Amino acid sequence: MAELDLPTIPHWIDGAPTASTSGRTAPVFNPATGVVAANVALADQAETDAAIASARRGFEEWSSWSIAKRQGVLFAFRELLNARKPELAAIITAEHGKVLSDAMGEILRGQEVVELATGFPHLIKGAYSENASSGIDVYSLKQPLGVVGVISPFNFPAMVPLWFAPIAIAAGNAVVLKPSEKDPSAALWLAGLWKEAGLPDGAFTVLQGDKLAVDGLLNSPIVESISFVGSTPIAQYIYETAARNGKRVQALGGAKNHMLVLPDADLDLVADQAVNAGYGAAGERCMAISVVLAVEPVADELIAKITDRIARLTVGNGAQAGDAEPDMGPLITDQHRQKVAGYVDIAEADGATVVVDGRSLVVDGHEDGFFFGPTLIDGLPTTSRAYTEEIFGPVLSVVRVGSFEEGVALINSGEFGNGTAIFTNDGGAARRFQNEVQVGMIGINVPIPVPVAYHSFGGWKKSLFGDAKAYGVHGFDFFTREKAITARWLDPATHGGINLGFPQNT
Ligand code: NAD
């Protein structure tokens, strides 16, 4: 039910904001105040079909443009994004809650992919083998898929769409983006920017909605592929449904990332990085560190150092700029705050010690905001659901282990395999770690090892369903379909005549 007198955030169809007629909406909060700031449209089937049809028209037009003209649009988009990113950061902070500098950080990581995509001609140019067989040339073309669906999570409302859209568009596809209904405005802002950059109408379409819109994309015969990022149960559903419907699919899921600390590590560096990676963005990052595995005897000293740093962290409204900017903003919703608190309750009930407790934090002047203070847990049993499940909040647990081997075995026993890090000065141990750990992205004295745009992003196990990671070379492979052509220009003098045998190389 729509809150009265509030704006309704529209779709972006046919190159313009498009009001919804579905009669369905969801509230969009300002998490720092707890106030509903707007409603967002939730598409029905007719709107979903209209968005997809518009994208198909956009594809017909866009894919007919020359590489030179398409590259011009990519460069214009990059320049506009670079010049106007503070606007986007403010939009992200208002709906997501993360602090402004962190919103800017996510935009910059997305912008890296735009910059990679500007070089697309080199990455989609195919290959040519002259005279592969006598008088026969073989060459390959990389063509766009058509209409591609992107479904994004709440925690990176700009960066995750930018992981996929620039590469998909550069390769000649049209994108239908279904953003999270919790922070839908960044997607619209990006749509306006694509238009300003010169992208034809329909080639970047935003469909606001929930499961109904997602299922509409999954079931549409016009949508050729799905790129999804979100929680593991939904990622698995997306993967299975899209694959059953014959689509190409990459579905990135949840995470539970460990930091393994060897006794030789610099514990001040480790404490700094554990705090950054555990509490940055209030822990709402798929690459956040959730568990510190401390190889004894360093746990007590490390806990003291982390506790000391937590005492200096500030929590508040992320929209406060400059010197007033806090370290951490609120969580996305009150419901999510309760879920995070529930995991701390579980940890306590399972025998852990809550060293620093953020459950009852109240921020002055923002009493209704969805705040949760940085929380530190010691002695968490590895059988506890607070250890095995993703918390997605500012909760860092220290688990004491006796050896490198015990730590690696624990990391490998989990169901996720997104990111992990080792902190040590021992190169041999780090090298063994990178070989033995069953995780897709590994940091060596780097706590959040998000690969640069020309490498690819993705985890193992239940952190990624499908074969292709996001961006990098994987991205270009995912968003293109290859044709191999074998050509012979007949020379009447050497015409081979009839031969029903299988073609041989001669
Ligand atoms: P989510 O799974 O709830 O939602 C993701 C998207 O799926 C949203 O667009 C949402 O509208 C849609 N959705 C939700 N329920 C659905 C359903 N039943 N059927 C169809 N579609 C549905 O995830 P979230 O809470 O928005 O994001 C947080 C999660 O995303 C965390 O688990 C986090 O680890 C994960 N994440 C993973 C990565 C990665 O790269 N692996 C990156 C960012 C976030």
**SS3 at position 10:** coil
Nearest C-alpha to atom 16 of ligand 1 is from which residue? Answer: 211
Residues 161 and 276 placed together within one structural domain of the fold: no
Give the C-alpha distances (Å, rounded to integers) separating 393 from 105, 359, 373, 418.
19, 11, 9, 16
* pLDDT given at position 3: 52
For residue 374, whether the previous peptide bond is cis, meaning omega lies within 30 degrees of 0, is: no
At which residue do the structure tokens 């070089």 appear?
119
Q: What is the number of the ligand 1 atom nearest to the C-alpha of 181?
A: 11
Cβ-contact 190, 219 below 8 angstroms: no
User: Which of 209, 191, 213 lies closest to 200 in space, CA to CA?
Assistant: 191
Residue 318 CB burial class (10 angstroms; 0-12, 13-18, ≥19):
buried
Residues 274 and 416 placed together within one structural domain of the fold: yes
Element of type H or E holding 425: none
CA 253 to centroid of ligand 1, rounded, Å:
7
* pLDDT given at position 360: 96
* pLDDT given at position 505: 80
CATH of the domain at 360: 3.40.309.10
In a domain, 492, yes or no: no
Around 363, how many Cα atoms within 13 Å sit in the side-chain half-sphere?
A: 23
* pLDDT given at position 1: 46
DSSP state of 111: H
Strand-pair category, 257-261 with 419-423: parallel
Mutate to test the pocket of ligand 1, among 231, 456, 461 (most ligand atoms within 8 A of CB): 231
Residues 119 and 226 placed together within one structural domain of the fold: yes
- 127: tokens are 């290959």
> Is the model's pTM score more than 0.95?
yes
Domain that holds residue 271: 257-444
Element of type H or E holding 353: strand 353-356
* pLDDT given at position 495: 65
| Residue among 170, 251, 286, 295 flagged as catalytic | 286
At which residue do the structure tokens 């409603």 appear?
39
Element of type H or E holding 123: helix 120-123
In a domain, 380, yes or no: yes
Residues 408 and 478 placed together within one structural domain of the fold: no
CA 153 to centroid of ligand 1, rounded, Å:
4
* 286 assigned to active site: yes
Mean pLDDT by 10 residues, the chain (506 residues): 78 98 97 98 98 98 98 98 98 98 98 98 95 95 98 98 98 99 98 98 98 98 98 98 98 98 98 98 98 98 98 98 96 98 98 98 97 98 98 98 98 98 98 98 97 98 97 98 94 74 82
Residues 302 and 340 placed together within one structural domain of the fold: yes
In a domain, 503, yes or no: no
Residues 79 and 189 placed together within one structural domain of the fold: yes
* pLDDT given at position 501: 86
